């Protein structure tokens, strides 16, 4: 047991250490040495820098709010992500939370235009869907993103985009809507992020957030032993954690929903993760496939192996969890009286 304050509730209760990863294992998780020995060595140096020389990282869970976080509590930086993605990140073009959010945005009573900001916009798939929606012309859209290639893609699609994050916004910038999809779990300053979110919203403004669902991540690790490795994800979120952090930063939590379970899709995802997990064990077929530098061939072979795992996972895992946690928050129109 360790006594590290929870970043969400600053709980004095003892945190549970649920996992310990060596620096070598973390580097291998993101960039297998057999595939790219030079980038693997570079990543080990980056991890040592981020973790201030530590040779391992602990993953803690708060016993009060359930929030999971690493110690050292440090997120990946631009150098980390450039190494890990190899300059070619892969952004999903469709997410359940996109449709959920757009359905609400179409009903907002705000007068036009509605100023909307997406933080961590990727290549703009959500913004494209919003623009093509029934009332997409209501929105004046801005985007923040770190990846240079993604910013270039956003510009190609006609969106106003720049490098930055929620916490880098100018104090004078205000929006009617702020969206963050699968972004908050990458941020290592919960209090700073929610202060920035509150300040970025006009009174009465809305925020829409999605993160990986903490219980689903737990199930992934317990079932197939593929770890949710820091410093990529540094926040394992629960509904209880969101309720605490929203209230403490003056935001009203209107709605929380777990992604409806698509059992076939979830079993397929876990089947792929099972293959990925085995790839970290030397002398396995999955390990040799994972060492292939040619990504299209690597993905085809891993997909074939995952198909063989599908019936095994389907029988073994019964009570599956939805993969994403979605939230709708609002800054009150009037500040609460003291």
Residue 23: which domain range? 15-85
pLDDT of 36 higher than 50? yes
pLDDT of 1 higher than 50? no
Find the mean pLDDT for residues 60-69. Answer: 94
pLDDT of 337 higher than 70? no
pLDDT, the chain, mean? 92
pTM: 0.92
- Encode pLDDT of 209-245 as tens digits: 999 999 999 999 999 999 999 999 999 999 999 999 9
> Domain end: 85, 113, 144, which one?
85
Indicate whether 147 belongs to any domain. no
Rounded Cα–Cα distance for residues 78 and 57 (Å):
20
Indicate whether 112 belongs to any domain. no
Give me the phi and psi of 327, to 5 degrees please. Answer: -140, 145
pLDDT of 193 higher than 90? yes
Q: Which residues contact 143 (CB under 8 A, 6 or more apart)?
A: 117, 118, 119, 121, 124, 127, 154, 159, 160, 161, 162
Indicate whether 74 belongs to any domain. yes
CA distances from 316 to 14, 219, 223, 228, 234 (A): 33, 12, 9, 21, 29
pLDDT of 30 higher than 90? yes
Per-residue model confidence (pLDDT) at position 89: 65
> Domain end: 55, 85, 115, which one?
85
Rounded Cα–Cα distance for residues 235 and 217 (Å):
11
Identify the CA nearest to 298 among candidates 286, 312, 282, 280. Answer: 286
**What single-letter DSSP state applies at residue 116?**
E
**Alpha carbons within 13 A on the beta-carbon side of 6:** 25
Indicate whether 270 belongs to any domain. yes
> In total, how many domains does the chain have?
2
Degrees, nearest 5: CA angle 84-87-92: 80
Place of tokens 């993160």: 211
Indicate whether 309 belongs to any domain. yes
pLDDT of 338 higher than 60? no
Per-residue model confidence (pLDDT) at position 136: 92
Q: What percent of the chain has pLDDT over 90?
A: 79
* Tokens linked to 11: 């709980």
- Encode pLDDT of 144-169 as tens digits: 998 888 899 999 999 999 999 899 99
Distance of CA 90 to the CA centre of its chain: 13
Indicate whether 241 belongs to any domain. no
Indicate whether 71 belongs to any domain. yes
Find the mean pLDDT for residues 169-198. Answer: 95
Per-residue model confidence (pLDDT) at position 110: 84
* Tokens linked to 217: 């991540």
Which of left, alpha, beta for 86 (phi over 0: left; psi -120 to 50: alpha)?
Answer: left
If you compute the radius of gyration of the chain from its CA atoms, what whole number of angstroms results?
A: 20
pLDDT of 93 higher than 60? yes
For residue 128, with 0-12 CB atoms within 10 Å meaning exposed, 13-18 middle and 19 or more buried, which class applies?
Answer: middle
Find the mean pLDDT for residues 243-267. Answer: 95
Q: Are strands 324-330 and 175-181 parallel, antiparallel or unpaired?
A: unpaired
Task: For residue 11, name the pLDDT band (cuts at 50, 70, 90).
Answer: confident
Indicate whether 303 belongs to any domain. yes
Per DSSP, the three-state class of 83 is: helix
> Domain end: 85, 108, 142, which one?
85
* Tokens linked to 166: 């929620």
Per DSSP, the three-state class of 34 is: coil
For residue 107, with 0-12 CB atoms within 10 Å meaning exposed, 13-18 middle and 19 or more buried, which class applies?
Answer: exposed
Per-residue model confidence (pLDDT) at position 111: 86
Per-residue model confidence (pLDDT) at position 39: 95
């Amino acid at each position: 047991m360790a006594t590290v304050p929870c970043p969400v509730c600053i709980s004095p209760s003892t945190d549970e250490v649920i996992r310990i990863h060596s620096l070598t294992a973390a580097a291998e998780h993101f960039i297998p040495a057999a595939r790219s020995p030079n980038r693997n060595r570079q990543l080990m140096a980056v991890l040592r820098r981020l973790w201030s020389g530590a040779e391992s990282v602990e993953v803690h869970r708060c016993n009060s709010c359930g929030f999971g976080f690493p110690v050292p509590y440090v997120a990946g930086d631009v150098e980390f992500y450039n190494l890990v993605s190899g300059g070619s990140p892969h952004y999903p073009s469709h997410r359940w939370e996109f449709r959920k959010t757009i359905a609400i945005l179409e009903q907002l009573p705000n007068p036009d235009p509605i100023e909307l900001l997406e933080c961590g916009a990727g290549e703009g798939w959500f913004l494209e869907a919003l623009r093509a929606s029934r009332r997409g012309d209501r929105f004046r859209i801005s985007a923040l993103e770190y990846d240079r290639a993604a910013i270039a893609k956003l510009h190609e699609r006609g969106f106003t985009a720049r490098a930055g994050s929620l916490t880098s916004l100018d104090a004078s910038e205000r929006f009617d809507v702020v969206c963050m999809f699968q972004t908050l779990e990458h941020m290592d300053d919960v209090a700073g992020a929610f202060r920035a979110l509150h300040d970025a919203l006009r009174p009465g403004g809305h925020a829409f957030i999605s993160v990986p669902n903490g219980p689903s991540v737990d199930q992934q690790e317990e079932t197939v032993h593929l770890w949710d490795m820091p410093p990529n994800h540094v926040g394992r979120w629960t509904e209880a954690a969101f309720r605490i952090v929203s209230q403490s930063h003056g935001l009203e939590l209107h709605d929380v929903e777990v992604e409806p379970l698509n059992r076939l899709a979830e079993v397929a995802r876990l089947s792929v993760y099972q293959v990925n997990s085995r790839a970290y064990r030397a002398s396995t077929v999955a390990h040799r496939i994972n060492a292939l530098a040619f990504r299209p061939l690597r993905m085809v072979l891993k997909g074939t192996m995952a198909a063989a795992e599908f019936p095994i996972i389907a029988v073994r895992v019964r009570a599956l969890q939805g993969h994403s946690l979605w939230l709708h928050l609002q800054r009150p129109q009037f500040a609460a009286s003291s």
